[in-house]
Chains A and B, each alone.
Chain A
Amino acid sequence: MTAHRVWRLGAEVDTDALAPGSWMQHGVEVIAQHCLESLRPDFAPGVRPGDVVVAGRDFGIGSSREQAAAALRHLGVAAVIAPSFAGLFFRNAFNLGLLLLTCPGCDAIQEGERIAFDARAGTVTRADGQVLKADPIPGFLLAMVEAGGLLPQLQSRFQPRNPT
């Protein structure tokens, strides 16, 4: 299993912090550069593909703007792990191909720790080998996130590959 570097955030990280309103007129590549700048100005410049975000409860409260999830995906975040998520953000994340793991025990995980996860098994493995349980994800949502989100799934529905 790959080890993912952890960015640790607190509780109630809202969508306006993930995708600030003053940048919403732009595309996700610009919004992503301002992702979390009011909470962690070092995040957008420092995050690397494969890193994971481990946050406190109720991650993603607020707006329906899916740019909140898209910005994290654009920055290469492999998963967000939190004890709970806002429902609307939860739907958006899977629709955008961003994996979320609901893990009640994740508060113990530390900034900079290297962890592994297995979405199908519902496990998060800490640097010291401790295994935390994550809530099971319905099969159709796992399939969606593995396909890269809803858009690729709709593409195969509307543009089935025809032999020519």
Chain B
Amino acid sequence: MQRPTSGGAPMSLAQKLLARAAGREAVRVGEVVTCRVDLAMFHDSSGPRRLKPMLEQLGATIWDKDKVVLVMDHYVPERNEDSRRIVRIAREWAREQQLPHVYDSVGICHVVVPEHGHIRPGLFCVGGDSHSPTGGAFGAYMFGIGSTEMLGVVTTGEIWVQVPRTILMRWDGRLARGVTAKDMMLAMIGRFGMNGGAYQAVEFTGEAVRALPMQERMTLANMSAELGAQVGLVAPDEVTREWLRAHGAPDVETQPWHSDPGSAAQEHAFDAAALAPQVAAPFSPANAGDATRFADTAIQAAYIGACTGAKLEDLRFAAEVLRGRRVAPGVRLLVAPASHADRDTAAAEGTLQVLQDAGAQLLPSACGICAGYGDSLAADETVISSSARNFKGRMGPPSTQVYLASPYTVAASAVTGRITDPREVLA
């Protein structure tokens, strides 16, 4: 892999990744560069059903099938004629095109694609989904695009990027027990707003970030979307390397992929130890505050799901709270593991049993309720969810009230029947 050299001015991690993708020694903040794409990911909703007719209209072909990954996760499992039609188009097109990397009904793209080793430090990737910044957890430059722009990528292998400024989110100290990456993100979104990232590069640094396991870093990068950043990056290290090795990826070089000391950045410092579990009230992830502020709110459903909040680490957090406890009467606890691999590991180690013994209802590993494309929550229901978005009408009728929180807080709230700081239950 070609390494950018910073013989000149110090460069940020984002600049180094873009310089490599643009085939340049260096790039300047603000300039528009054309990048070669290493990986293009899309799913059954944003992908084949939109790309196939446009490709036919153009009479063009896919630039490099080995660099394309297709994941069926939005309309699966099929539940009606529309979803059957959409998934059928995806499957037939995958066969027709002989796509080498297809993951059908095995989990959510942002979790499945990294767990198959496709996303590695230094790569430049795009995804047909807004949570594509998840790949930034591995030190890859990855962001979401729409289907028409994806058509441009799959036919040319290229895309333009305006080199972003870097916003450093430095988390000093260590998180307390029961406090997670999700709480860090809700606190940052609450402080800076849903467009606080201004489509620039956010980089998460500091002792608390370095101490996070890989999937928690993925939660940070994932919700960079709700911060309005183009990418959310974590400089890769031994944790990244070990995780990729365990998931069968080729050995990677992590050393070049960090921001140079003295590279230009706007820096914000946070004290991880002082962070309390966070909750975001309807109808915006930016309506965030300490969980205790919402302690009188009764809930009827608790949802542990989505790429944001149902990875293996998330299921373990929930199990820590639910071990030996039962969901409160009148509350439904729904658990949709983010991938089959995570579900199977959770089953093998007993985590899943803990959740089921507590009364959790297990749902398929798919985008499900979070996307609002099929299954939805009931009208007038108040729900606490480990997913990323609580927009009006997204996960149910406009009257459904969704509060966002970490899997710890969702599990604790399911036990008490009202929004609860998980430390009260864990204590």
Contacts and interface: CB of A to CB of B under 8 A. Distances in A.
Given A21-B371, A91-B145, A159 B393 contact: no
B393 A38 contact: yes
Interface string A149-164: 1110011011100000
B145 A88 contact: yes
A16 interface: yes
Interface residues of B, number: 48
B45 A154 contact: no
Contact of B393 (A20, A63, A66, A84): A20
Contacts of B60: 154, 158
Contacts of B128: 64
A24 interface: yes
B277 interface: no
B356 interface: no
A35 B263 CA distance: 43
A111 B153 CA distance: 39
B195 interface: yes
Interface string A65-105: 11001000000000000001011101110011000000000
A130 interface: no
A107 interface: no
Contacts of B198: 84, 87
Interface in B128-181: 128-130, 132, 143-149, 151-152, 155-156, 160
Given A66-B146, A86-B228, A154-B60, A21 B373 contact: yes
Contacts of B147: 66
B392 interface: yes
Report whether over half of chain B's contact residues are helix, strand or loop; otherwise say mixed: loop
Interface string B50-73: 000010011110000000000000
Interface in B83-130: 83, 86, 127-130
A17 B392 contact: yes
A57 interface: yes
B151 A151 contact: yes
B193 interface: yes
A2 interface: no
Interface string B219-249: 0000001001010000000000000000000
A92 B83 CA distance: 24
Contacts of A151: 54, 57-58, 148, 151
A113 interface: no
Interface residues of A, number: 39
A61 interface: yes
Contacts of B371: 21
Contact of A154 (B75, B146, B155): B155
Given A64-B144, A66-B148, A21 B199 contact: no
B59 A92 contact: no
B45 A24 contact: yes
B145 A86 contact: no
A88 B83 contact: no
Contacts of A62: 130, 389, 391
A58 B148 CA distance: 22
Interface centre among B32, B58, B130, B155 (most CB of A within 10 A): B130
B398 A38 contact: yes
Contacts of B194: 12, 58, 61, 86
28 contacts: A16-B394, A17-B391, A17-B393, A21-B393, A24-B45, A25-B83, A61-B195, A62-B130, A62-B391, A64-B128, A64-B132, A66-B146, A84-B195, A88-B145, A88-B146, A92-B145, A92-B148, A92-B149, A95-B148, A95-B152, A96-B148, A151-B58, A154-B60, A154-B151, A155-B57, A155-B58, A158-B59, A159-B59
Given A21-B393, A65-B146, 7 more contacts: A25-B373, A58-B195, A64-B130, A84-B195, A96-B148, A150-B149, A151-B54
